[in-house]
Structures are given as structure tokens and as C-alpha cells.
């Protein structure tokens, strides 16, 4: 296959897989049709079936990853829009972000030891609970592999989305702030999407928490790495 | 739908799409500028976070109206998943490693998520009750 057709094919299956899964989910609403799960599976299947060499696939779609940088900046808008909520609950949000970030880091570190994961994986999973643009930036400070980090971040989102319902009932996590912060801190974007099912306030709180834990992770990563790696 | 109605709808759709793209491009430009600034000043903070801070300041000072970037930002954030699909797909090259450690990694993820969800939820529940108490006390004082 020529370079041009490989490049076009890679891009087309990525866009079709993603927007197809998105449309299917909005029609069906089943949890397994969530784009976070279905889109990567569809695209992996297409890459394997069409026999696209992985290095070429990555080469031709890599420019999409560059949009994570501008996406980080775009987070300024939701922060600005929800400034009233931030002014109303500064203590709760600050404590929640700190608790979420530290619990995420320390639990990851301890569980890597407990499950005896090799260093290549161990260094890549420390940032698992923050949103991808931040995680991809911070993971290098811990010596992580960006591709593994991207996958683990994605899976953390899925796991958090599925676990939150029973856990909130079991742990009697009832206030909308607690549910929102917990979802944003543990399951980032997927958690924020899930939080929308609980209510508008939960959703706003979850996205704010996701953004703040992400920023704190990126800024703190060089320091955390001194202790954890 | 008549033909002219279809045309109008197509036109507004195209107009909205080009506006979104234009705004997203402006955000990309800001990202590039922030990145260049970080390199130039050798700042220890990544360009994305610097750009976020700058944009937040511009919005707060009302130098940039929220509406001017709303559509572009909504697209960048709404389709965030699309932008990290390439590295996720590239994980196939670690197939052997995932086959070997996949079950343990799943255990790791579940245990970690349980810790963060329950722990953070608990902390915030307590903090929220405390802070709501403060609000009520303040409101009571005013009466």
C-alpha cells in the first residue's frame, strides 16, 4: 500500500471508529457502547483486519495527540464559567483535590508493589487517575511509557464509571459534592460524564476536580517523582 | 423540508463548523505561543498549564470574551478521547506484556479506583458538612 493510502486509511478508520461509536452510544445508551470502550476496540479490530503496520498507523494519526496541548488550555473556559461554585466551596474543593491526588498517587505506588508489577508498567501507572492531557505530560517525570499510560488512564476511567454506583451506596457517599469530586478525582473525563447521570452539580464539580487534580499532578510530578520512583 | 430550507440548514451548519474550527485554531495558536514562551524563558512549568493560566487571566480581566472561544473549547474538550486514541491503539505492540500482566493490572486498577472513590468521597462529605456549616453560621450571623 502506498503512503498516501495508508495515511488516509489510518485517519478514516480512526475518525469513523470514534464518531461511529459516539453516535451509536447516543442512540443505544448501553454501557458497553460507551465510546471510551467501543471506539478503541473498533479501531484496533480495523487496524488488525486491514493489516495496517502499527508504526505507520501511529505516524499518520499522531498529529491528533498534538491537540491534547490546546485541549489543556481549553480547560480555562469551564474554570471561568464555574467560578461562582469555586468561590462558594473553596475548602471542600481544595481538600477534595488534595485527597484525590494523594490517594491516587499513594494507592498506585503501594498497589504496584503489592501486585509486583514490573518497573516499565509501574512507572507508567502512577498518573492513572488524572485526565489524559495532564497524564501524558506528567508521566515522563516518573519515567513512564506514554502509550501504556494512555491505556491505563483510559481503563481507569472505565473502571471508575462502572464501580461508582455500588461504591457510593456501600460507602454512603451521598452529597452531590462528594460524588462529583470522587468521580472527577478517580475517573477524570469518564467520571465527569458519569457524574452527569447523577445531576448537573455533580457533573460540574467532577469536571472542576478533574482539571485541578490534573494541573496539580503536572506541577507536582517532578517533586512526587523524588519520593515515588 | 423544502430544498431552500435544506440549503439554509446546510449553510448554518457550515457556518457553525467553520466558527468552531477558527476558535479551535486560535486556542492552538495560544498553545504554541505558550510553548514557545516556556522554552524561551526555560520555565519549569509545561506550556499547557501556562497557556491555561494565561487564558484564565484574559477571561477574568474580560480582555477575551467567553463567547469568542466557547465553541472551539467545547469541541476540544468534548472530543478529548479522539486525541489520545493513537497512543491507546499503539498498545498492541505491548501485547506480550499485557498478556502476562493483564490480570494483575486489572486487579491494580480496581483496587486503586475503590481506594480513590471511597477515600475522596469520605473526605469531601466531611469537608462539605463543615463548609456548609460555615455558610449557615455566616447567614445566621447576618439575620
Residue-wise pLDDT for B4-23, tens only, equals: 777 777 778 888 899 999 99
CA distance A25 to chain B (A): 14
In percent, the amount of chain B with pLDDT more than 90 equals 66
pLDDT at residue number A228: 86
pLDDT at residue number B91: 85
CB distance A122 to A112 below 8 Å: yes
pLDDT at residue number B29: 96
- Mean of the pLDDT values across residues A143-171? 92
What are the angstrom distances between the C-alpha of A83 and each of A90, B56, B59, B77, B106? Answer: 10, 11, 11, 18, 37
In percent, the amount of chain A with pLDDT more than 90 equals 77
pLDDT at residue number B95: 87
Nearest to B84 among A103, A132, A175 (CB): A132
* Chain A residues with beta carbon closer than 8 angstroms to that of B124: 92, 95-96, 99, 175, 177-178, 181-182
Q: For A177-203, how does the pLDDT look when each residue is reduced to its tens digit (9 = 90+)?
A: 999 999 999 999 889 888 988 998 899
Residue in chain B lying closest to A169 (CA)? B118
* Chain A residues with beta carbon closer than 8 angstroms to that of B111: 107, 111, 114
Average pLDDT, chain A: 92
CB distance A161 to A105 below 8 Å: no
Q: For B63-109, how does the pLDDT look when each residue is reduced to its tens digit (9 = 90+)?
A: 999 999 999 999 999 898 899 899 889 888 888 988 999 999 999 99
Residue in chain B lying closest to A209 (CA)? B120
Query: pTM (2 decimals)?
Result: 0.89
Q: Would you call B139 an interface residue with chain A, using a CB distance cutoff of 8 Å?
A: no
| Residue carrying the nine cell digits 472551539 | B72
Nearest to B92 among A44, A103, A160 (CB): A44
CA distance B9 to chain A (A): 20
pLDDT at residue number B3: 66
pLDDT at residue number B138: 86
CA distance A46 to chain B (A): 11
pLDDT at residue number A78: 93
Q: How many residues does chain A have?
A: 229
Cβ contact A121–B66 (<8 Å): no
Whether A94 shows a pLDDT value over 70: the answer reads: yes
Q: Would you call B122 an interface residue with chain A, using a CB distance cutoff of 8 Å?
A: yes
Interface of A with B in 192-211 (CB under 8 A): none
Whether A214 shows a pLDDT value over 90: the answer reads: yes
Nearest to B91 among A147, A167, A175 (CB): A147
Where does residue A146 rank: exposed (0-12), middle (13-18), buried (19+ CB within 10 A)?
middle
Q: Would you call B130 an interface residue with chain A, using a CB distance cutoff of 8 Å?
A: yes
Average pLDDT, chain B: 90
- Mean of the pLDDT values across residues A93-101? 96
pLDDT at residue number B7: 75
- Mean of the pLDDT values across residues A198-218? 93
pLDDT at residue number B143: 55
- Residue among A173, A170, A217 nearest A195 (CA): A173
pLDDT at residue number B2: 65
pLDDT at residue number B92: 87
- Residue among A199, A156, A159 nearest A179 (CA): A199
CA B66 to the chain's CA centroid = 16
User: The C-alpha cell of B60 is what?
Assistant: 477574568
Amino acid at each position: 500500500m502506498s503512503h498516501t493510502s495508508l495515511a488516509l486509511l489510518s485517519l478514516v478508520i480512526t475518525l469513523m471508529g470514534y464518531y461511529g461509536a459516539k453516535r451509536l452510544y447516543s442512540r443505544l445508551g448501553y454501557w458497553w457502547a460507551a465510546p471510551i470502550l467501543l471506539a478503541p476496540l473498533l479501531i484496533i479490530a480495523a487496524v488488525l483486519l486491514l493489516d495496517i503496520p502499527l508504526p505507520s498507523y501511529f505516524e499518520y494519526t499522531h498529529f491528533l495527540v498534538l491537540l491534547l496541548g490546546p485541549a489543556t488550555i481549553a480547560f480555562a473556559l469551564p474554570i471561568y464559567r464555574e467560578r461562582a461554585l469555586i468561590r462558594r466551596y473553596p475548602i471542600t474543593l481544595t481538600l477534595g483535590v488534595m485527597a484525590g491526588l494523594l490517594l491516587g498517587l499513594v494507592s498506585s505506588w503501594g498497589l504496584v508493589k503489592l501486585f509486583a508489577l514490573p518497573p516499565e508498567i509501574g512507572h507508567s501507572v502512577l498518573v492513572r487517575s488524572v485526565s489524559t492531557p495532564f497524564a501524558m505530560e506528567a508521566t515522563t517525570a516518573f519515567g513512564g511509557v506514554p502509550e501504556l499510560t494512555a491505556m491505563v488512564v483510559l481503563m481507569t476511567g472505565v473502571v471508575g464509571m462502572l464501580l461508582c454506583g455500588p461504591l457510593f451506596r456501600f460507602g454512603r457517599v451521598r452529597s452531590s459534592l462528594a460524588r462529583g469530586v470522587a468521580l472527577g478525582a478517580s475517573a477524570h473525563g469518564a467520571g465527569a460524564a458519569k457524574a452527569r447521570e447523577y445531576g448537573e452539580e455533580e457533573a460540574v464539580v467532577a469536571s472542576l476536580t478533574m482539571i485541578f487534580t490534573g494541573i496539580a499532578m503536572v506541577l507536582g510530578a517532578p517533586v512526587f517523582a523524588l519520593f515515588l520512583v | 423540508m423544502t430544498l431552500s430550507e435544506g440549503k439554509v440548514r446546510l449553510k448554518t451548519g457550515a457556518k457553525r463548523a467553520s466558527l468552531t474550527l477558527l476558535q479551535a485554531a486560535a486556542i492552538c495558536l495560544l498553545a504554541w505561543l505558550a510553548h514557545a514562551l516556556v522554552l524561551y524563558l526555560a520555565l519549569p512549568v509545561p506550556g499547557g498549564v501556562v497557556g491555561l493560566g494565561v487564558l484564565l487571566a484574559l477571561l477574568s480581566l474580560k480582555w477575551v470574551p467567553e463567547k469568542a472561544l466557547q465553541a472551539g473549547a467545547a469541541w476540544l474538550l468534548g472530543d478529548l478521547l479522539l486525541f489520545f486514541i493513537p497512543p491507546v491503539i499503539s498498545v498492541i505492540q505491548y501485547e506480550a506484556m499485557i498478556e502476562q500482566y493483564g490480570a494483575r493490572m486489572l486487579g491494580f486498577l480496581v483496587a486503586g479506583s475503590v481506594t480513590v472513590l471511597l477515600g475522596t468521597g469520605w473526605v469531601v462529605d466531611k469537608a462539605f458538612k463543615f463548609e456548609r456549616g460555615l455558610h449557615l453560621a455566616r447567614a445566621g450571623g447576618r439575620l
